[in-house]
Structures are given as structure tokens and as C-alpha cells.
Amino acid sequence: MTTREFEDVTLPGIEEGEILVIRSKRRKKSISAYRQGGRIVISIPARLSKADERSIVPEMIAKIRSQEAAKTPGEADLAARIDALLTELAPEITERPVSVTWRAMRERWGSCTSVDMTIRISDRLKLAPEYALDYVLFHEAIHLRHFDHGEAFTETLARFEDSELASAYLDGFEAAERALLAPVELEKF
């Protein structure tokens, strides 16, 4: 079953391919929903009626998103975490961001605008392990003082103990995203 059958139902994420509904002949009664590779995957019994599917799928999507929202740090939490990281690892950096916000970013993990002292963090990190999120927060917070990736920046970032682990996680995440992208159709010559 494809998500195209839901065109008459307004579900955020359907058109972007975020929601994948799988009808399984092995599944008799149970329904499962989970996040995999940036998508919400919902497995339903193959014999489930279209009407039941239309009512159950939005409920499962809402349940997954609610669970994720409960686990996601708020923007005030992000700012507090930056303050704690700078206080512990870089006390010489007294600058603090005016705001720290979640943003949909597909090319970067975060960004900092030192002119207005704002930091944006990719929403792909909402469910990341704490060490990976902390690494990106610390990286961006260092830019409040050091605007480039020069020697002073690099020396300060090196104080983050789990930097290798965090880098490995972020690299792995990106590799998995690339592997899960829909295949690109090549033009015939």
C-alpha cells in the first residue's frame, strides 16, 4: 500500500514521504508504529478495512509524535544546556545566545549568527543521544566568540570529551539518511 491512497485525508507528512503504511499478511490483529530513518512506519494487518485504516493511521501518527515531543528538549532547555557546557568547558566564553531554536535543516546540524547572537539546531537532533546534541550545541556556542573554525575554535572544541563519539554518531546518521533516500531515476539517452 502506498501513501497515495491517503490523498483524501489530511495528514502532515504524507506528501513528503514521512509516513509509510505497510499492510502485512502476517499481522493478524496488532498494529505497530515506529520511527525509522526519518519516517513514521505504521504496520497494519492486510485485512484491515480502508475505513479502519483511515481512522487508525492518524491516531498512530499522533501517538508517535506525542512520544517524540515528550522526549524533545524545549528551547529554554537548549539555552540552559549551552550555558552549562560553556560554564564547564569554556568559562572564558562569557557570551550567551539570545535564542536557541529548533529548525528544519537538512544540510547542517546547527548554525550560529554571532551578529544577533542566535543559534539554530537541526530538528534531526531532537531524538539524538545527549552527547551528540551537546556536541552540536557546544560547537555552535563557541561561534559566539570565535567566528571561524580557526585554531582558537578548534582548541576550545577539543575540550568536549565525547567529540569522537559524537562525530561518529553524526556521520553515521548522515550515512543512514543518504542510504534511505529514494532512488533517483536516471534519464535515458
**Pairwise CA distance, residues 32 & 175, whole Å:** 26
Domain range 75-180, CATH class: alpha beta
pLDDT of residue 9: 40
Q: Which three cell numbers stand for residue 87?
A: 560554564
Q: Does 17 or 108 have the greater pLDDT score?
A: 108
The closest of 41, 45, 51 to 24, measured between CA atoms, is 45
Measure the CA–CA gap between 139 and 53, rounded to whole angstroms.
44
pLDDT of the residue at 1: 39
Query: Could you give the 3-state DSSP secondary structure of residue 122?
Result: strand
Say if residue 16's pLDDT is above 50: no
Q: What is the pLDDT of residue 7?
A: 38
Which amino acid is located at 91 in the chain? P
In this prediction, residue 172 carries a pLDDT of 92
Q: In angstroms, how far apart are the furthest CA atoms of the chain?
A: 63
Is the pLDDT confidence value at 31 over 80? yes
Cβ neighbours of residue 15 under 8 Å, at least 6 residues apart? 3
Domain residue ranges of the chain, discontinuous segments joined by +: 3-71, 75-180
Question: Phi then psi for 27, rounded to 5 degrees?
Answer: -80, 120
pTM value? 0.70
Mean pLDDT of the 25-37 span: 83
Q: For the segment 108-165, what is each residue's pLDDT rounded down to a tens digit?
A: 999 999 899 999 999 889 889 999 999 999 999 999 999 999 999 999 999 999 999 9
pLDDT of 181 reads 64
